A and B are shown apart, each in its own frame.
Chain A
Amino acid sequence: DTEVTQTPKHLVMGMTNKKSLKCEQHMGHRAMYWYKQKAKKPPELMFVYSYEKLSINESVPSRFSPECPNSSLLNLHLHALQPEDSALYLCASSQASGEWETQYFGPGTRLLVL
């Protein structure tokens, strides 16, 4: 199984809502990533988890809160988002992040903040 799954595929939320994005992989990977991708732009790294511990936070606003409950799951909790946070949110995983390895990406969650 070389698949990274993400749910939901699409999400519409108001600025006062709380929602969560979910990512799952069963490849035994120990590094997991959240990226944000705006239209016609490259993905921007947000967070990296290595062995279930947060290892990189790219100065992401606190309205985004990541969580890694176990080695297969990665969540992104969203609260009080702004319309400019509307984007495609991509999850990825890799063997480990000690040396950068090939990343396997999920299909993304397309988020619209109204």
Chain B
Amino acid sequence: GDSVTQMEGPVTLSEEAFLTINCTYTATGYPSLFWYVQYPGEGLQLLLKATKADDKGSNKGFEATYRKETTSFHLEKGSVQVSDSAVYFCQAAGNKLTFGGGTRVLVKP
């Protein structure tokens, strides 16, 4: 069946550090891929998405590229802020909707 694997957190960084969160998926066909962010006490918000191979999604300084050959959709940001502290979820939307386990990110001043 479909599955999404994310690196386990928590990931603790200092402000202005580089952030990478790995995401790999297993799915039949060509799923659309999403990154969602969840701030404490809130629902999920779309961060970015990509619908086909080699597409790059970007938003608020975050980027992820749909890599079909490695079945990956790693999230990156070049310089994180304290306000980026949240839980990040990777989602594959193919035959079904599948979330990864989530990665908690804590950015310290």
Contacts and interface: CB of A to CB of B under 8 A. Distances in A.
A41 B102 CA distance: 7
Interface of chain B, helix or strand or loop or mixed? strand
A43 B42 CA distance: 13
Contacts of B43: 4, 90, 92, 105-108
B49 A42 contact: no
B34 interface: yes
A68 B100 CA distance: 28
A40 B100 CA distance: 12
A102 interface: yes
A75 interface: no
A45 B96 CA distance: 10
Contacts, number: 43
Interface residues of A, number: 17
Interface string B73-109: 0000000000000000100011011011110100000
A40 B101 CA distance: 8
Given A41-B101, A45-B97, A102 B89 contact: no
Contact of B46 (A99, A103, A107, A108): A103
A94 B26 CA distance: 23
Contacts of B41: 107
A90 B36 CA distance: 14
B69 to A, nearest CB: 22
10 contacts: A40-B104, A42-B101, A45-B97, A92-B43, A102-B34, A103-B36, A105-B36, A105-B43, A105-B45, A107-B43
Interface of A: 4, 40-43, 45, 90, 92, 99-100, 102-108
